[in-house]
Structure 1
Amino acid sequence: MHALVLASLDDDQAVETVSIPLAGKSSIADHMVIASGRSTRQVASMAAKLAEKIKAKFGQTPRIEGLPTADWVLIDAGDVIVHLFRPEVRSFYNLERMWSFGETPDAASA
């Protein structure tokens, strides 16, 4: 699932994709992926495409929050939690800092 999420975001030209490993640190998921889109339209498109790919590959429909405004879209895909932001909203909430557990998050390489 994690590899599919990263590949989908890369295909859709997500900006500054970061993957934070949560296994052993939180029971909510194994990975948290945070990425930005250049506009609300791109954020919404990335979220919709990712949800379609997850459903096609794994047969499950992820829960999605925030799609109507697309400033911050949360996709709960079970083992992977995905946060998609517009850059201004991402810098305001700074989830990377909150979830890094004192470590530097891993930047997903393209």
Structure 2
Amino acid sequence: MLLKLVMQSLDDDQALEIISIPLAGKSSIADYMVIASGRSSRQVTAMAQKLAERIKVATGHITRIEGLPSADWVLLDAGDIIVHLFRPEVRSFYNLERMWGFGDENDSPVLQSVVS
């Protein structure tokens, strides 16, 4: 349910290249990592704030947010889901998808768009 909420919220806010990476068996930090881009720092900030509010309304839990002052890379810790929001050039520099094993042409994250 939380993953669907996160994916839908980012899609509603016109995030770019939304992906979800299952972390089960790879890490104990969360069940999923979601990575998306915004066109500008302003959009990244707005997406992060709206997502945190939507999660609070839906679950009652407060989402921790890091990186809002510059909004080049904003991290949201929603418990079972870690969300990374980037400006495109910052995302390509850090390339988290590759770090988590999804950078080769034969690999791809499980979800690349909103779950219907």
What is the TM-score of this pair, normalised by structure 1? Answer: 0.95
Aligned length: 110
Q: Which residue of 2 aligns with 1:45?
A: 46
Aligned CA RMSD, in angstroms, stands at 1.3
2:79 is aligned to 78
Shift of 1:107: 4.1
Does residue 6 (structure 1) correspond to residue 7 (structure 2)? The answer is yes
Residues in 1 aligned to 2:111 and 2:16: alpha-carbon distance in whole angstroms: 11
Output the amino acid matched with 2:5. Answer: L
Question: Which runs of structure 2 are paired with 1:88-107 in the superposition (5 Å)?
Answer: 88-100=89-101, 103-107=107-111
8 A Cα contact 2:17 2:113, kept in partner: no
Cα displacement string for residues 72-92 of structure 1 (whole angstroms, at most 9, x for unaligned residues): 000000000000000000000
1:24 positional shift:
1.9
Contact 1:32 1:82 in 2 (8 A): yes
Give the TM-score, by structure 2 length: 0.90
What's 1:36 paired with?
Answer: 37
Which has the larger displacement, 29-38 or 95-104? 95-104
3-state secondary structure, aligned to 1:54: helix
1:55 lines up with 2:59 in the alignment: no
Equivalents in 1 of 2:17, 2:109: separation in Å? 11
Structure 2 gaps of 5+ residues are: none
What SS does structure 2 have at the residue aligned with 1:109?
Answer: coil
Unpaired runs of 5+ residues, structure 1, are: none
